[in-house]
Chains A and B, each alone.
Chain A
Amino acid sequence: MTTVTGAAFCAALGLGLLAAAGALLPRRARPAAAGGGTAAAGAAAVVAGLAAMAGHPWSVWLPDLLPLAGVRLAVDPLSGLFIAVTGAVAVCAAVYAIGYTRPARDGTDDAPGLDGRAVQAMLPLFVVAMLLVPAAASVSTFLLAWELMAVTSLLLVVAEHRRRASVGEAGLWYAVMTHLGLIAIMAGLAGFAAASHGESFERLRAAAEGLSPAVRSAVFVATLAGFASKAGIVPLHVWLPRAHPEAPSHVSALMSAAMVNMGVYGIVRVGLDLLGGGPAWWWLVVLASGGVSALYGVLQAVVATDMKRLLAYSTCENMGLVLIGVGAAGLLSVSGARAIAALALTAALLHVVNHAGFKTLLFLAAGSVLHATGTRDLDALGGLRSPMPATTALFGIGALMASALPPGSAFVSEWLLLQSLVHALPEGGTLAAVTMPVAVAVVALSAGLAIAAFVKAFGVGFLARPRSAAAERARESSPAMIAGMVLAALACVAAALAPGLVAGGLSRAAGVAAAVAGPGGDPVTGPVTLRPAGMPSTMSPLLITVALLVAVVVLMAVLRAVTTRRARRRARLWDCGAGPATARMEYTATSFAEPLVRVFDDVLAPETDLDVTPVKESAYLVDSVRYRTTVGDRIEHRLYRPVLAAVAWVGRAARPLANGSVHRYVGYGFYAFTGMLILLAVTR
Chain B
Amino acid sequence: MSAAGVVGAVTQVALVAFGAPLLVGFMRQVRARLEGRAGAGVAQPWRDLRKLLRKEPITPHGTGVLFRAAPLVLAGTALVVSAVVPIVTTASPLDGTADLFAVAALLALGTVFLALAGLDTATAFGGMGASREMVVLALVEPTILLSVFALSARVGSTNLGAIVTATLHEPLLVISPVSLLAAVALAVVTIAETGRIPVDNPSTHLELTMIHEAMVLEYSGPDLALVEWASAMRLTVLLGLFAGLFAPWGIAGTSMAMLPVAVAAFAAKAVVLGGLLAAGEVFMAKLRMFRVPELLAGSFLLALLAVAASFFLAAP
Binding site for B on A (CB under 8 A): 382-383, 385-386, 403-406, 411, 415, 418-419, 422-423, 425-426, 433, 437, 440-441, 443-445, 447-449, 451-452, 455-456, 458-460, 463-465, 529, 535-540, 543-544, 547-548, 551-552, 554-556, 559, 562-575, 581, 583, 585-587, 591-596, 598-599
Contacts and interface: CB of A to CB of B under 8 A. Distances in A.
Contacts of A562: 53
Contacts of A456: 134
A358 B156 CA distance: 32
Given A556-B72, A581-B122, A573 B60 contact: yes
- Candidate in B77, B140, B149 with the most chain A CB atoms within 10 angstroms: B149
A509 B126 CA distance: 46
Contacts of A449: 138
Of B53, B156, B289, most A-chain CB atoms within 10 Å: B156
Interface string B159-181: 10010000000000000000000
Interface string B51-75: 0011111111110111000001101
Contact of A548 (B80, B115, B125, B127): B80
B308 interface: yes
Given A464-B120, A595-B135, 18 more contacts: A411-B102, A426-B153, A433-B312, A437-B307, A440-B146, A445-B139, A451-B108, A455-B112, A455-B116, A537-B99, A537-B157, A538-B159, A548-B106, A555-B76, A559-B222, A573-B60, A586-B123, A594-B131
Given A465-B122, A570-B60, A441 B142 contact: yes
B101 interface: yes
Given A437-B307, A440-B145, A445-B138, A405 B80 contact: no
Contacts of B65: 385
B211 to A, nearest CB: 10
A266 B189 CA distance: 40
Q: Is the interface of A mostly helix, strand, loop or mixed?
A: helix
A573 B119 contact: no
B122 A573 contact: yes
A570 B59 contact: yes
B119 A444 contact: no
B273 interface: no
Contact of A547 (B73, B83, B124, B159): B83
A648 B124 CA distance: 47
Nearest to A562: B53
B145 A443 contact: yes
Interface of B: 53-62, 64-66, 72-73, 75-77, 79-80, 83, 94, 96-99, 101-102, 105-106, 108-109, 112, 115-116, 119-128, 130-132, 134-135, 137-142, 144-146, 148-149, 152-153, 156-159, 162, 217-218, 222, 226, 289-290, 293, 300, 304, 307-308, 310-312
A463 B119 contact: yes
Contact of A585 (B64, B124, B226): B124
A587 B120 CA distance: 10
Contacts of A459: 115-116, 119-120, 130
| Interface residues of B, dominant DSSP | helix
Contacts of B226: 555, 559
Contacts of B105: 404-406, 411
Contacts of A403: 112
Contact of B97 (A540, A570, A574): A540
Contacts of B66: 385, 463
A544 B98 contact: yes
A599 B98 contact: no
Q: Which 6 A-B pairs have the closest CB atoms?
A: A587-B127, A448-B141, A459-B119, A448-B138, A464-B122, A444-B145
